[in-house]
Chains A and B, each alone.
Chain A
Amino acid sequence: MPGNRPALVQEEAPPGAVARLVSVPMPAAAQAAQATAAARPEGRRSNAGGRRATAWLRLISPVAVLVGWQLVSQLGLVSEQTLPSPTQVWSTAVLLVTRNSPAYGTLQGNLIVSLERVAIGFAVGASIGLLLAVIAGLSRLGENAVDPVMQMLRTLPLFGLIPVFIVWFGIDDTPKIILIAIGSAIPLYLNAFAGIRNVDPRLHELSRVLQLSRRELITKIVLPGALPQILVGTRQSLGVAWLALVVAEQVNTNAGLGFMMSQATQFLSLDVIIVALLVYCVLGLLTDWLVRIAERRALSWRRSFITT
């Protein structure tokens, strides 16, 4: 991205600049393709290199979309009001970061408020979801008590709860955080519950022979055994958490990414909305990536099975 910056500053880029934008990714892609081709026959040791080359290949289509978007705006096929160009969006983003506007505040200020809501909501929701999954997963009684309620909540339209929550909890942060918490508790509960029930029953038997305490059973057998599923649930939960944040923040807020978007709607500033949407995208990808890293570390006992 930084390499593209000079072109973005110009209002009307000369055709050469466009041509350069198009031609830049091509040699990289060609190199990557060559690298993969060369890496393949060598087999195992060069496998990691091959994967890196594939990662480069995956960048081609997003870059192409970006370039296409810029072309469409620049050639005047779509008006700036309908779809601001990437360069326009970029300069808006820069402005939002560097200037504290009365209408929006700063991008980073809103981001921090949103992050805090998601963090609290997700932490509360995930803990509750996991706790309920353990209760339901370990006993028939617990299942009968917890599961029907969770299945009911699952089918409830989450965002339909917003008006109810406003009546119950007012218009400050509480209803937003509760909405995020409920949204993230459910996928985690469903996955963790299934994961716990799938733990090898022979290991339960082993824990009885070894006279493990209830606590040891949970921390050493049940939760690690259900971890692959719990991590799948975590990724889903984070997805729902961001979604719930966007919706919740557009109602009665004075800070946050959603607030920025609802303000922008009133001013018909599509560029600001697109900036906010892109920030959501990046945050979603970032959290997903973090969970994947955690996944790779926590499940190394499985990976060793593959690599040795």
Chain B
Amino acid sequence: MASQLHHNVSASALDNAAPAKTVRVRGLSRSFGPDQVLRDLDLEIASGEFVALIGRSGSGKSTLLRALAGLDHQATGELAVDGTVSIAFQEPRLVPWKRVADNVSLGLRDPDPRARTAAALAEVGLTDRARAWPLTLSGGEAQRASLARALVRDPSLLLLDEPFSALDALTRIAMHRLVLSLWERHRPAVLLVTHDVDEALTLADRVVVLTAGQISHTCLVSADRPRDRNQAYLHGLRTRLLAELGVDREGTL
């Protein structure tokens, strides 16, 4: 018990023996020239928590995600992520000259990478496509391969950058179910960036609205999963979130 506590303290400099936080962001700012994209942003994600980040185009969603992924070294402020980070990009970003299985095992440090890869592919239902070239996959298959690649590393934080936005509606529903089942099994903290309010409400424990580089609204979604989007409770949340995004004024008169 004591040693575990000690481990937590050393792993995260910001830890104050509070409930385990996978992500702690304080006062994060990022400018591109004169444009300040993130302004003094605070965000915490508990371990195993599923957070959806919504916002209009240009609100800084992708910038925040890139900072969390360690792809942006010019953001200022405090940012601590406990453990490993994986990301599934908007385009599946598979390496075209590596077969699906080799894409999943790319950079994997594991005593038995083959078994791990096979297990990850089985989880996303791609066992029979393991030897396929990425260019021959359908959009949904490619995104599943991308998910397998992100999960095979056993991340404590899984970043999803609008991974379903290019998929057709039916495939998207199947992907939502898949992501939820994977999340329930592995329990990483998840930050899902999305444009889609319904998607956020279907999946997340908490929905965070980003406006002009700051978190303008947070709502907890306490409904049990699987959720029916026509539930009155979710309907109320949706109306509230759309208002927060400024859609009501344009959408309804």
Contact = CB atoms under 8 A, between A and B. Distances in A.
Contacts of B230: none
Interface stretch (B18-26, B89-97, B183-191): B89-97
Contacts of B87: 209
B69 interface: yes
Given A304-B133, A304-B136, A305-B136, A206 B70 contact: no
B75 to A, nearest CB: 15
A220 interface: yes
B205 to A, nearest CB: 24
A220 B103 CA distance: 10
A216 B133 CA distance: 20
Contact of B93 (A203, A301, A308): A203
A305 B107 CA distance: 25
A212 B135 contact: no
Nearest to A308: B136
Contacts of B133: 300-301, 304-305
Interface string A284-305: 0000000000000000111011
A221 interface: yes
A168 to B, nearest CB: 42
A224 B97 contact: yes
A44 interface: no
B136 A210 contact: no
A225 B135 CA distance: 14
Nearest to B86: A209
A302 B135 contact: yes
Interface string B59-72: 00000000001110
Nearest to A224: B97
A220 B136 contact: no
B55 to A, nearest CB: 22
Contacts of B149: 210
A211 B136 contact: no
B69 to A, nearest CB: 6
B95 A203 contact: yes
Contacts of B95: 203, 206, 220-221, 224
30 contacts: A202-B93, A203-B93, A203-B95, A208-B70, A208-B71, A209-B70, A209-B71, A209-B85, A209-B86, A209-B87, A210-B106, A211-B107, A212-B106, A212-B107, A216-B106, A216-B107, A220-B98, A221-B95, A224-B95, A224-B97, A225-B97, A227-B97, A300-B133, A301-B133, A301-B135, A302-B96, A305-B133, A305-B135, A305-B136, A308-B136
